[in-house]
Structure 1
Amino acid sequence: MHILRIFGWSFAITAVGVALAGVIGGGEAAAIVAILAVLEISLSFDNAVINATILRRMSLVWQRLFLTVGILIAVFGMRLIFPIVVVALTAHLGPIDVIDLAVNSDKVIDGGTYADKLHEAHPAIAAFGGIFLFMIFLDFMFDPERDVQWLRWIEEPLRKIGQLDVVPVVLALAALLVVGETIAGDDSAQVFAAGVAGLATYLAVRGLGEFFESRGIGAEEDEDEDSEGAAAPATAAATTAPAGGGNQLVLATGKAAFFLFLYLEVLDASFSFDGVVGAFAISQNIFIIAAGLGIGAMYIRSITVYLVRRGTLQEYVFLEHGAHYAIGALAVILALTIKWEVPEIITGLVGVGFIGVALLSSIRHRNARRNGAEPDEEEAPEPVGAKS
């Protein structure tokens, strides 16, 4: 029953989406929708793990919004409307012309179809999403307060260097400069612009979320007056919930949760770019693409909630590490796709591979602790600074 409660909407939307595709476009259309859904899940499973690390810091109300309002933004905003906006900006076409191109997949304007125009916009898309994801990876690796380490011989030196909080930004800009000068070629101008925009978006959304969390500004503070007309006292923007191991996790609400919600949506967009562009190799129909990728996005959100409710990240302590390594690899792959074609199956296997190895290390670590033995340091090291 617990599984059905979390995945119920995903199952229902899958049935409705595939059935409608079959009624409108026949068995081929239904099969394409199912294939695209599987593609999205395989490419974005690491996204679910990262989402869970953020969602578990948010109150139950905001978790529900992530599954309802968030999925509408993910399906219609990121996988239908956003590509149209990107094509309009990069191809210098009016919104009506781009919508006409998108609806009529065989129509040609300025020597290209909608899929062609989206492909031409790929360098900018890859630069924006790549820098955003690369910053997530760098912030994790250089976090000086991160206690649990997976590959200590890599992570401990980086954690110490992370005392200088400007290091991730400097490295991200250096990486953008290298990509722009060595890979982008004639697209270097739009790669630089999109990369800087991606970095600015990350810093703004993440920074505002952390600011409101640290200030303790929550939904309760939005209430101006109580029933007697007196000013309501400001209260903390959080409740607490078990985080595993007896610890209490502070749950953000109000403005802090709102910016975490925005951060999650931009993160989802960064993961979806590659899937949206790659989907045109399977179908030219934007509605079939939106349906298939939308179903996949719904499952990713359900998996995210499942990980949070089951406390999976607390039980399997290195899953978060594996997901961040997968994000770093995806950022590199996005940079490479500016010049070269990288098959989606490689992208998916890289992410699944990192998470699979991290899961195995987590299981060995958990079993060793339960048996009262010391885990093998190279495969499942003890958390740094853990109390005995």
Structure 2
Amino acid sequence: MMHYFKWAFIVTAAGLLMGGVLGWQQTGTLEGMATIFFICTVLAVLEISLSFDNAIVNANKLKTMTPEWQHRFLTWGILIAVFGMRILFPLLIVVVAAKVSPWEALVLAASEPEQYAHIMEGAHLSISAFGGTFLMMVGLSFFFDHEKDIHWVQWIEGKMASYSAVRGIEVAAVLLIVLAFTKMHDDAESRVFLSSAIWGLVTFLCVEVLGGILDRKATLVEGAKGGLGAFLYLEVLDASFSFDGVIGAFALSKNLFVIAIGLGIGAMYVRSMTIMLVEKGTLAQYRFLEHGAFYAILILSVIMYVQSFFHIPEVVTGLGGAALIGMSLWSSVRWNRRNSG
């Protein structure tokens, strides 16, 4: 266990130390330092609970990648996940929403965290529609697969697999759901929701197309086969998972740097869990585990849509995903026992 989580423990110690120092610099009191320390810890736990299904999906995709690209994802990918999604992404949202320069956004985050958080929360509708659509496509693409022959909930998954021969059925299903939610918003919000959802769908399809081209014609990019396309897919997937956590983190702290520390610690544990799942072959040992993760993704996508109307506590999202994964693990153990002979 220590072999897989060594770097996560190191980053945890360094991150909590930085959080304590930041708390002392801001408040000059032990109470303030302890408060920031505690918030960083809670944010890390929040990120782990929200992203455990992300680790399972990552491991499922990593199995198809070459060792070289696996290594690149677990090194470059984690840097993009921690620094790109937890620091640069919130800054980029403020740059676009407030029409300011990146430096001005950074200064705003440091000097006026309340105003910074207000701008971030103002972009929540677009983020919910974009991220929810991308994740819904990820989940439905897993179940609408004619090659899928292992079913956890037979009466649902068997029927979905049987309809997978209908071209574009998952796209049609997502568009119908998008239109239904769009109708629930008023005119101004409906345009924003629909536009963002369409971009989420287009992003998924572009990543799929690009991945298919690279995997079939490796000569276009040397060494890309089984690698670059999957790498891009996983990075966009991580971004979609991170949307909810980044926005939700502002409920605990308005400080961008505190949020980055807490979510960055959690991201390292997700990376460690991904490596462990791949190397130990856990997905092969527990046949329904990834099914639970993809059900959790579908539920998260719907939650993101619902959050365009009102806030749902992140603890509900995290516990819901964890419960589904736990049930799929329990079902896998029972199946293994029944078929061990």
TM > 0.5 = yes
2:91 maps to a residue whose letter is I
1:88 maps to a residue whose letter is V
How far has the Cα of 1:57 moved from its partner? 1.2
Aligned to 2:9: 11
Aligned to 1:326: 296
Q: Is the 8 A contact 1:307 1:313 kept in 2?
A: yes
- Segments of 5+ residues of structure 2 without an aligned counterpart are 24-32
How far has the Cα of 1:24 moved from its partner? 2.9
Aligned with 2:234 (options 264, 285, 295): 264
Q: Is the 8 A contact 1:184 1:191 kept in 2?
A: no
- Say if 1:6 and 1:184 are closer, same or farther in 2 by CA, change over 3 A: farther
Q: Is the 8 A contact 1:67 1:302 kept in 2?
A: no
Residues 244-282 of structure 1, C-alpha deviation per residue, up to 9 Å, x if partnerless?
xxxxxxxxx525401211111110110111111111111
Aligned to 2:276: 306
Aligned with 1:89 (options 63, 85, 96): 96
Structural RMSD (CA) = 1.7
Task: Tell me how far apart the structure 2 counterparts of residues 93 and 175 of structure 1 sit (CA, whole Å).
Answer: 34
Map 1:238-387; keep pairs closer than 5 Å. 254-371=224-341
Aligned to 1:137: 139
Residues 173-199 of structure 1, C-alpha deviation per residue, up to 9 Å, x if partnerless?
121111111146632222112111111
Aligned to 1:102: 109
Aligned to 1:241: none
Q: Which moved more, 1:291-300 or 1:57-66?
A: 57-66
Aligned to 1:114: 116
Aligned partner of residue 38 in structure 1, secondary structure = helix
Aligned to 1:176: 178
How far has the Cα of 1:97 moved from its partner? 3.2
Q: Is the 8 A contact 2:215 2:224 kept in 1?
A: no
The structure that has the greater radius of gyration is 1
More helix by share: 2
Q: Is the 8 A contact 1:134 1:328 kept in 2?
A: yes
Task: Tell me how far apart the structure 2 counterparts of residues 284 and 57 of structure 1 sit (CA, whole Å).
Answer: 40
1:81 maps to a residue whose letter is L
Q: Is the 8 A contact 1:105 1:284 kept in 2?
A: no
TM-score of the pair, normalised by structure 2: 0.93
Q: Which moved more, 1:157-166 or 1:98-107?
A: 98-107
Count of residue pairs the alignment pairs up: 332
Q: Is the 8 A contact 1:126 1:274 kept in 2?
A: yes
Aligned partner of residue 19 in structure 1, secondary structure = helix
Aligned to 1:196: 198
How far has the Cα of 1:64 moved from its partner? 2.0
TM-score of the pair, normalised by structure 1: 0.82
Aligned to 1:163: 165
- Segments of 5+ residues of structure 1 without an aligned counterpart are 108-112, 223-252, 372-388
Aligned partner of residue 77 in structure 1, secondary structure = helix
2:275 maps to a residue whose letter is V
Give identity over the alignment, percent: 45
Q: Is the 8 A contact 2:48 2:269 kept in 1?
A: yes
Task: Tell me how far apart the structure 1 counterparts of residues 94 and 3 of structure 2 sit (CA, whole Å).
Answer: 38
1:310 maps to a residue whose letter is K
Q: Is the 8 A contact 1:123 1:184 kept in 2?
A: no
